[in-house]
Chain A
Amino acid sequence: MAAPCRKMASRSYSQLLCCFSRTAVGSGACRRFSVTPIDRATPRASTAADRATSPWSLMAAVCLQRLPVITADCSPIEQRFKQMLQQMELEKSMLSDHELRLMEDAERMSRRQADDYDSDEDLGDQEIMMTQDLEDTWEQRLKNFQPAPRVRADVDEDLTSVQRCLTDSLVLLAEQQVGAEKLWLLPQAAWQEGETLRRTAERALDSMTAGVRATFLGNAPCGVYKYKLPKAARTESSVGVKVFFFKAILVDGTPGSAPTAPLLWLKKSELQKYLKPAYMMNVGRFILNL
């Protein structure tokens, strides 16, 4: 029934969201978070003033994930349980049509080979295909089909390929210049006036990779990392940086043509080698390995 499993949300939920957004634009309250209604009397100029006084500069980053393409191998206990379940199911089941046919054919063969065989019993050319022959044809057809290999060791080694490690979900990392040094980070860009943070994240993704299609999951950030600039670089107006992360899911596997910065696709376990410890601890919270 559900041979390829697809995660799909219904249109009715989107309609609910649409009508909710129509009503929510005024108050700005969100269903999940209990937020007191924001005072609409404050004029827009004060928000710009807020930004001017705040010592933190804003950046947005994108956590682009390529979800698993094939099912993972079963762990030992899973394999044992699978075998046991299959055995138990077989014991509790009834004989299927195919098995009945096999049994009948076997009986007929044994009757034919008996000495007192009456050829009138064989009602003409009834069984053109013995069940065993059917099984053989099916096996032959299966052998003719060559599926793609599940694991390819050479592709797994290549960290820049998006086709590596098809059983795990991969995260995109880019090497970027931060201050004086080059660091491996989730692709980020500085926030500019007049755009939302999600737009900033989309810009970051487009600038690092070209032609990668991703679906951003919502307008809300999934995490924040704030760090203070080294004492030498600190001024009155900029004490530190807040980086807001946005989650996105890779839609098609076409990697960016001629990316501007070196890119890596890494599993969660491999991220530790490339990210700074504090950054890793923060980012590891919202990168789910499910």
Chain B
Amino acid sequence: MSSAVSRFIGGVLSRQAAASRLLLGECNPAVQSPCFFPVATLKTSAPLRAEPKKKKKVDPRREQMMRERLKKKLKKLERVPPELIPIEDFITPTKCLDETRERIPPTVSFEESESRALLLKEWSRYKQKQHMAEVEAIELALEAQREALEELKMESEELYRAALKPDPLLLPFTHEGPAYTPPIPNYDAPDGKYNDITKVYTQ
């Protein structure tokens, strides 16, 4: 705007200068003093000279874009994934790699190794029989239940439907499994002392 104003002023001044030249031209047609033009057009006032008011519309946009670019770069830097919590069980502790801890490898005689192999085979046969017996027992029980439900259905639909409903109060069901010795009646167990050294990680 200031440039337009200055151009306008310059135009006005040049028109004025032209007018004055026309007036003065009759006196000195040959000499055209060039000093008129600069004096007339370059009538720069103090405010016009002081600041380089080059406030173009593009500049604030450019600054904003610079700022956005910087912010994006900052975000990229900040987008570091959180450090994974190490799984303690998967890291072999250095104590185990210590060579001084190795046992003297014991010699196993031929008979001993043979008997071990035979015992392993016997054990696998024993376990297989046990497993098959378990599976059979479970199948018998399932069959018995199926028959019971069939009979109930033949009897009454309502009772059958009631029997099929799941029991919400059953779960969660807990039961203490067998221990080595039975519980001592009225036993007051002493409080155990322990130092909890588990490492707690925060992400």
Interface positions, chain B 98-129, Cβ under 8 Å from A, are 98, 100-103, 105-106, 108, 116, 119, 122-123, 126
Contact between chains at B172 and A11 (CB < 8 Å): yes
Checking A38, A149, A249 against B175 with a beta-carbon cut-off of 8 angstroms, the contacting residue is A249
Contact between chains at A6 and B181 (CB < 8 Å): no
Q: What are the interface flags for A132-158 relative to B under an 8 Å C-beta threshold, 1 for contact and 0 otherwise?
A: 000000000000000111100000000
Residues of A within 8 A of B180 (CB): 70-71, 147, 150
Contact between chains at A285 and B144 (CB < 8 Å): yes
Is B197 engaged at the interface, CB distance under 8 Å to the other chain? no
Residues of A within 8 A of B155 (CB): 50-51, 54, 56, 58, 242
Chain B residue nearest to A56 (CB atoms) is B155
Contact between chains at A7 and B182 (CB < 8 Å): no
Is A289 engaged at the interface, CB distance under 8 Å to the other chain? yes
Q: What are the interface flags for A90-105 relative to B under an 8 Å C-beta threshold, 1 for contact and 0 otherwise?
A: 0101110000100000
Q: A8-B174, A18-B168, A288-B137 are in contact. List 15 more A-B contacts (CB 8 A).
A: A6-B175, A8-B173, A14-B168, A21-B168, A50-B156, A50-B157, A77-B122, A91-B105, A94-B102, A94-B103, A150-B182, A198-B163, A219-B167, A221-B152, A224-B144
Count of interface residues, chain B, beta-carbon cutoff 8 Å: 57
Contact between chains at B171 and A222 (CB < 8 Å): no
Contact between chains at A221 and B166 (CB < 8 Å): no
- The segment from A27-35, A123-131, A229-237, A258-266 that touches chain B is A27-35
Contact between chains at B179 and A70 (CB < 8 Å): yes
Interface positions, chain A 30-60, Cβ under 8 Å from B, are 30, 33, 35, 38, 42, 44, 47, 50-51, 54, 56, 58
Residues of B within 8 A of A42 (CB): 157
Q: What are the interface flags for A1-28 relative to B under an 8 Å C-beta threshold, 1 for contact and 0 otherwise?
A: 0001111111101100110110011001
Is B148 engaged at the interface, CB distance under 8 Å to the other chain? yes
- The segment from A80-88, A108-116, A180-188 that touches chain B is A80-88
Contact between chains at B164 and A9 (CB < 8 Å): no
Contact between chains at B166 and A147 (CB < 8 Å): no
| Contact A220:B182 (CB < 8 A) given known A56-B155, A84-B116 | no
| Contact A91:B168 (CB < 8 A) given known A28-B161, A226-B151, A285-B140 | no
A38 and B143 CA atoms in complex are apart in Å by 23
Is B147 engaged at the interface, CB distance under 8 Å to the other chain? yes
A142 and B134 CA atoms in complex are apart in Å by 38
Residue numbers of A with Cβ under 8 A of B are 4-11, 13-14, 17-18, 20-21, 24-25, 28-30, 33, 35, 38, 42, 44, 47, 50-51, 54, 56, 58, 67-72, 77, 80-81, 84, 88, 91, 93-95, 100, 147-150, 163, 166-167, 196-198, 215-224, 226, 242, 244-245, 249, 282, 285-286, 288-290
Contact between chains at A17 and B166 (CB < 8 Å): yes
Checking A93, A219, A288 against B164 with a beta-carbon cut-off of 8 angstroms, the contacting residue is A219
Contact between chains at B166 and A20 (CB < 8 Å): yes
Contact between chains at A221 and B172 (CB < 8 Å): no
A95 and B79 CA atoms in complex are apart in Å by 46
Contact between chains at B171 and A148 (CB < 8 Å): no
Residues of A within 8 A of B137 (CB): 288-290
Residues of B within 8 A of A84 (CB): 116, 119
Is B145 engaged at the interface, CB distance under 8 Å to the other chain? yes
- Give chain B nearest CB distance to A144 CB in angstroms: 11
Residues of A within 8 A of B38 (CB): none
Contact between chains at A67 and B175 (CB < 8 Å): yes
Q: List 22 A-B contacts (CB under 8 A).
A: A6-B175, A9-B173, A14-B172, A69-B182, A71-B178, A72-B178, A77-B126, A91-B105, A95-B101, A150-B181, A196-B162, A197-B163, A198-B162, A216-B167, A218-B170, A219-B162, A219-B167, A220-B148, A221-B149, A222-B144, A223-B144, A244-B152
Residues of A within 8 A of B147 (CB): 223-224
Is B158 engaged at the interface, CB distance under 8 Å to the other chain? yes
Is B176 engaged at the interface, CB distance under 8 Å to the other chain? yes
